[in-house]
Amino acid sequence: MITLKNLAERLNVSISTVSKALSDSDEISKETISRVKKLAGELNYQPNRVALSLKQNKTKTVGVIIPNILNRFFAMALYGIQNEATKLGYSIITCITNEQLVKEQESISLLSNGSVDGFIIAVSEETLLSSRIQHLQTLSEKRIPMIMFDRNLNDIECNKVIINDFKAAHEVTNMLINRGKKQIAFISTINDLNVGALRRIGYENAIKMSVLPDLNPMYLFIKKEDDYQGLIKNFLINNPNIDAIIAADNITGTITVNVAINMGYDIPKDISLIGFTDEVVSNLSIPKLSYIDQNAETIGENALRLLVNELNNKDLDNAYSTLKIPFTIVHKETTRSSI
Amino acid sequence: MITLKNLAERLNVSISTVSKALSDSDEISKETISRVKKLAGELNYQPNRVALSLKQNKTKTVGVIIPNILNRFFAMALYGIQNEATKLGYSIITCITNEQLVKEQESISLLSNGSVDGFIIAVSEETLLSSRIQHLQTLSEKRIPMIMFDRNLNDIECNKVIINDFKAAHEVTNMLINRGKKQIAFISTINDLNVGALRRIGYENAIKMSVLPDLNPMYLFIKKEDDYQGLIKNFLINNPNIDAIIAADNITGTITVNVAINMGYDIPKDISLIGFTDEVVSNLSIPKLSYIDQNAETIGENALRLLVNELNNKDLDNAYSTLKIPFTIVHKETTRSSI
DNA sequence: TTGAAAGCGCTAACAC
DNA sequence: GTGTTAGCGCTTTCAA
């Protein structure tokens, strides 16, 4: 790598002159500035990032901690974070915790050695379940800028970016009720997560608040290691009166369409379906699954933007807030409105 | 952050004494060592990463450039890279190029300012198609350690990690031939990529080398923006004699199962299917899709390991090599062997 | 208009 | 056994 020192030697000027010239200081003569810039351009000089970080005591790097990169929601959020970071001149160091508390603790500890200026975190499932949040509380106490997204811990004070999961589930449930559905079931593999619980409660709440007297909630909770197809099939067999299903996670909606079709159901005539997923997954079933788009990319962008904002105003003692990103209900083929 | 200077002041010793004590130098007395370590432990001292990087002229950070994080192959490879990096004490900075040449160039340029010690790259589709590889050649010429994986550029000299795509396609095609399939079709959305082409050629080659006289290749090439379901449906209608299909990419296998089922085919009795994908996607169709597992995580791990190896032996002038990671054929329900 | 010097946090050669 | 010093690449204050 070419350094200021190299340039200074070649030009027979001092290092500080070169430094000032490159930043268009008016202490330096026009002529020197152009000489310096010319050579810097020719040699493709780039200021050493590490030296700058040390000098300015900020790395312009953000630590991003996510539970699972195979989950499309987090993958898209990461993409949003990354894009926005590039725009604002930041780099990101990503750590994937694989839903494990230990890895989350290690990642944060690892990056707390001056590697990053702040964190964007979606906590792991194990963290949520165990409520062992000392590592996050420490960050908060040290006033290290941090944004939590999607999975929210009420006990941690920091800025947050989420979607209104309660409202989303509530809204689609109401929509199904308004379309005359009598037995709306709720399938979830993420009931342990707070987002999963919020979706369930939104669903429950809409059912209970309905003016129709005979509506009752009906659930199928699936564990990660279970046989999804088998459980869903049994569920449908045991509950032949189901006429609508809300899938709380990324993939059970698709699997449910496949299972129902395989069992001979006419979708959406017999059963309407909607999931929390995205366009690509929607195309993986026939008929195509309707879905609630969580706008993951937007969530990521906003998380990064909020963090950078916090970094730039570290001295100001602003109150923390929670940003709710709007969701979008996308009607494909499993909730045709004519039915 | 707590620094050596802080510790030194509190202990009334010099900075270098603290530094040496923390690294168990035998220049320092046992007693001093334990005093220093005690305080360092209490205050949770962590050596400043940035200062270390500057001093040692290496960042222990790797730049990872991948085309698309929503592609499960790259997501899993990234996970493998990340895991192995953590084990070896490295961090990774990830850049997602979204298959765009410009973003790839920018990412590399951005990280070439001393941010990383080396690169792991899967080049973008646009780079492959345009053959504009100056940015990679520059890295190579500057002797910046770099590993290419999955998508291979023959013109770039560096260490590479790939799977034997030719052999994988060749092998499954032969398997289908041996099972008596007469009309094996090949569906691909990635014919533009070299991995896609290798899979196609492996398929072609197996067909042509077959001792059976009446075998002929048959293709459906789909573009990203096309209507997958519609094209596949037409393809099946127009070619009613197809009795086996190889899908070259991640998702068309699943879509093909769904389309065929929807058209009334009995799978795998009427048509055997196999794709290049993974366990989770396999579960998204009924019957479950058989697949060629590319062992993406292993690819990632090996890429990282090779890179670190190269970094540690930068002085030695080793020849470049290409590591081929074994693939695994996983028989699920769409290639039942009894048929 | 230019240069010298200090300092960010750390290591290591050298001095005491 | 401990301390002083230089230097990694850079910015910035102060001196010339």
Residues of A in contact with B51 (CB under 8 A): 54, 114
Q: A232-291: per-residue pLDDT in tens?
A: 999 999 999 999 999 999 999 999 999 999 999 999 999 999 999 999 999 999 999 999
DSSP character string of A153-165: -TTS-SEEEEE-H
Do the Cβ atoms of A274 and A335 come closer than 8 Å? Answer: yes
Q: Supply the pLDDT for residue A336.
A: 80
Token pair of B292 as six digits: 């060629």
Name the pairing type of β-strands A290-293 and A328-330. antiparallel
A153 touching B, CB under 8 A? no
Do the Cβ atoms of A82 and B106 come closer than 8 Å? Answer: no
Q: How confident is the model at residue A337 (pLDDT cuts 50, 70, 90)?
A: low
**Rounded CA separation A78/A296 (Å):** 8
Q: Supply the pLDDT for residue A65.
A: 98
Work out the average pLDDT over A137-141: 92
Which single residue is written with the structure tokens 């569920």?
Answer: A235
Which nucleotide is closest to the Cα of B7 by its C1'?
Answer: C9
Q: Which among A91, A103, A228, A278 is the top mutation candidate for probing chain B, defined by the most B β-carbons within 10 Å of its own β-carbon?
A: A91
Instruction: Name A40's bridge partners.
Output: none
Do the Cβ atoms of B65 and B121 come closer than 8 Å? Answer: yes
Comparing C-alpha atoms, which of A142, A159, A105, A146 is closest to residue A127?
A105
**Distance to chain A for B130, nearest Cα, Å:** 23
**Packed helices A49-56 and B49-56: angle between N→C axes, nearest 10 degrees:** 140
Chain C positions with an atom below 7 A of a protein C-beta are: 1-5, 7-15
Max Cα-Cα span within chain A: 89
A216 touching B, CB under 8 A? no
DSSP character string of B193-260: SHHHHHHHHHHHHHHHH-S-TT---EEEE--TTS-HHHHHHHHHHH-TT--EEEE-SSSHHHHHHHHH
B221 has a pLDDT exceeding 80: yes
B316 has a pLDDT exceeding 80: no
Work out the average pLDDT over B286-306: 97
A70 touching B, CB under 8 A? yes
Q: Which among A22, A113, A228, A332 is the top mutation candidate for probing chain B, defined by the most B β-carbons within 10 Å of its own β-carbon?
A: A113
Q: Supply the pLDDT for residue A339.
A: 47
**Rounded CA separation B279/A109 (Å):** 33
Q: What does residue A64 show for φ and ψ, rounded to 5 degrees?
A: -115, 120
Q: What does residue A212 show for φ and ψ, rounded to 5 degrees?
A: -70, 135
Do the Cβ atoms of A122 and A148 come closer than 8 Å? Answer: yes
**Interchain proximity A46–B112, CB inside 8 Å:** yes
Q: How confident is the model at residue B337 (pLDDT cuts 50, 70, 90)?
A: low
Q: How confident is the model at residue B22 (pLDDT cuts 50, 70, 90)?
A: very high
Q: Is the CB of B42 under 7 A from strand D?
A: no
* % of chain A exceeding 90 in pLDDT: 93
The C-alpha torsion from B151 through B157 and B162 to B167, rounded to 10°, is 100
B228 touching A, CB under 8 A? yes
DSSP type of residue A219: E
| Buried b or exposed e, range A293-303, using 16+ CB within 10 angstroms | bbbbbbbbbbb
Q: How confident is the model at residue B339 (pLDDT cuts 50, 70, 90)?
A: very low
Nearest to B93 among A91, A107, A283 (CB): A91
Q: Which amino acid is at A250?
A: N
A102 touching B, CB under 8 A? no
Comparing C-alpha atoms, which of A198, A194, A255 is closest to residue A222?
A255
**Rounded CA separation B267/B335 (Å):** 9
Comparing C-alpha atoms, which of A302, A297, A305 is closest to residue A323?
A302
Cα B329 from chain centroid (whole Å) = 18
**Distance to chain B for A1, nearest Cα, Å:** 8
Q: Supply the pLDDT for residue B318.
A: 76
Q: Least CA distance to B279: which residue of chain A?
A: A70
Comparing C-alpha atoms, which of B256, B74, B257, B150 is closest to residue A72?
B74
Alpha carbons within 13 angstroms on the beta-carbon side of residue B116 total 31
| Buried b or exposed e, range A271-289, using 16+ CB within 10 angstroms | bbbbbbbbeebbbbbbbbb
Q: B53-69: per-residue pLDDT in tens?
A: 999 999 999 999 999 99
Residues in chain B: 339
Q: Supply the pLDDT for residue B319.
A: 87
